[in-house]
Structure 1
């Protein structure tokens, strides 16, 4: 299960193969290399899906579907390109397909404290609702850039690969998104700065 993986990092620990090495091995049909990629990225991709689909089961299903597609289409992998960006591009496409099949009445980025099972009180819920609404009100590309940066931890060049835009365009969208969010969430600035969103 994707949610049960214990480690996922773009930077491999000492002694572990790089993403490029793993991709090269996968291109040769080496399944152990593919399993390493799975355990390196499945947990963060699970969170990516969960935040967007608001459901553990569907997030787990989409992780499995994503890696099944990556394996079937492994000939498209390129050791010279960012594996993380490739995976997030594929994940984004799956989310779009899923939302087309089952469009939600309301779409907003879900913000959940990591490793917390506590139910939010009414005040926290209202604050989260305001933040979600502000993020959801951003123009589409600004919202994607902001979420990929703040919630998924992608670097600007990785976001550029995922969205197929230039790094300079990513910087522009991020700057504009931050400006709009600071304006619309002025009363919550202290809390948001504590969370590290802005």
Structure 2
């Protein structure tokens, strides 16, 4: 494979394609205001591999990277909504009374305690995924384990937290 250093071609593509790509992304994600961020992420990824991208493939590759990034973001949003959605739904459906505010704060403290009580590796993987929004591949590199191990840690952590939250919340609620 011929190695290229086509910085000017990539920069020209960015100038020509950024608005079209932004509209493409905005029409396909739940949070259109984040389209600009996704466009920046697309060209950041392309820039990292600019030496290996042929000028003819830049535009189609930009859209392929955009689709992958949008899918990653959607997965993260769904994952965030799993636990937080339940917590906030509970909070929103309650009357706005002092007792219910205290109850919600207790539920949040319970959640924090359950996260802290997870086994160390599971907690690290879960926190990096849930709070830092890292992908399993990124977490695997950071923790020096396989991607599949990270996925398993996250799955088990989510299951443990959800089960314990349900048990403890309904015991007190």
As a proportion of its length, which structure holds more helix?
Answer: 2
Given the two structures, how large is their TM-score scaled by the length of structure 1?
A: 0.37
Given the two structures, how large is their TM-score scaled by the length of structure 2?
A: 0.41
